[in-house]
Amino acid sequence: MKRTITVAALVAMATMGAMTGAQAQATATPVAQVAPAEVAAPAGAVQAAAAPVQARSADVDSIDAIVAALYDVISGEAGKPRDWNRMRSLFAPEGRLMAVAKRPEGAVVLRTMTVEDYIGRNAKAFATMGFFEREAARTSEVFGQIAHVFSTYESRHAAGDARPFQRGINSIQLVHDGKRWWIVNLVWRAEDKDLALPERYLPKP
């Protein structure tokens, strides 16, 4: 499971797309200046404002399914069209994608995108760049209709690459409206020379 989002020039902010470090630094907001998020609507409101794109039931009937669909929909060979309607169907209408990175001078920056922002920024990159992202490990918490998935990702330019060119964490917030799961927020942070993934977030032998 953006990646302009999730990637060589694709290291600072990449994972769920193809945002380069330079692009991220030019457009991201310092974390200290980010306004508090609005209070999320209750689960019933999410259902009432359902996304116009019909989801595949197999994509949204469980946490495992929706996380797998998220990774699958952004992955593919260079030039392979992504099923953007499928991606739209995974997110609540209010859903956001956010990339976190550190600038060379040390400032932490945050870029916030709608699903449409993500699509607009990555469609051209995916036309010329192979990008495959998979989940390597996961830590989850669930309480009633809300869930938080801390998903360790690995990014490759080809599905058969022996080693990923990038790893990091996708922090995924989900809500169930009584019928299906929705992605409400996706925040990611890539590893860098100053921030390595702790052992507890790595695949178990």
Q: Determine contact, residues 26/13, Cβ cutoff 8 Å.
A: no
The C-alpha torsion from 84 through 130 and 117 to 133, rounded to 10°, is 80
Whether 41 has a pLDDT exceeding 90, the answer reads: no
Mapped onto helix, strand or coil, the DSSP state of residue 143 is strand
- CA atoms lying within 13 Å on the CB side of residue 204: 3
> Looking at residue 205, what is its pLDDT?
82
When pLDDT is averaged across residues 139-166 and rounded to a whole number, the result is: 97
Which residues lie below 8 Å from residue 187, measured CB to CB, with a gap of 6+? 97, 98, 99, 100, 170, 171
Q: Determine contact, residues 109/24, Cβ cutoff 8 Å.
A: yes
Amino acid identity, position 171: S
Whether 34 has a pLDDT exceeding 80, the answer reads: no
Closest to 88 (Cα-Cα) out of 51, 50, 132:
51
- What's the pTM? 0.78
Compute the mean pLDDT over every residue in the chain, rounded to the nearest whole number. 82
**Structure confidence by residue, pLDDT tens digits, 56-93:** 999 999 999 999 999 999 999 999 999 999 999 999 99
CA distance 40 to 30: 23
List the single range of 6-15, 58-67, 133-142 with lowest mean pLDDT.
6-15
Whether 157 has a pLDDT exceeding 70, the answer reads: yes
Q: What are phi and psi of 23, to 5 degrees?
A: -65, -40
Closest to 15 (Cα-Cα) out of 188, 139, 138, 162:
188
DSSP state of 33: G
Give the residue, 52 or 2, on which the prediction is more confident.
Answer: 52
Q: Is 150 exposed, middle or buried (0-12, 13-18, 19+ CB in 10 A)?
A: middle
When pLDDT is averaged across residues 98-120 and rounded to a whole number, the result is: 94
Other CB atoms within a 10 A radius of the CB of residue 67 amount to: 24
Which residues lie below 8 Å from residue 9, measured CB to CB, with a gap of 6+? 20, 21, 22
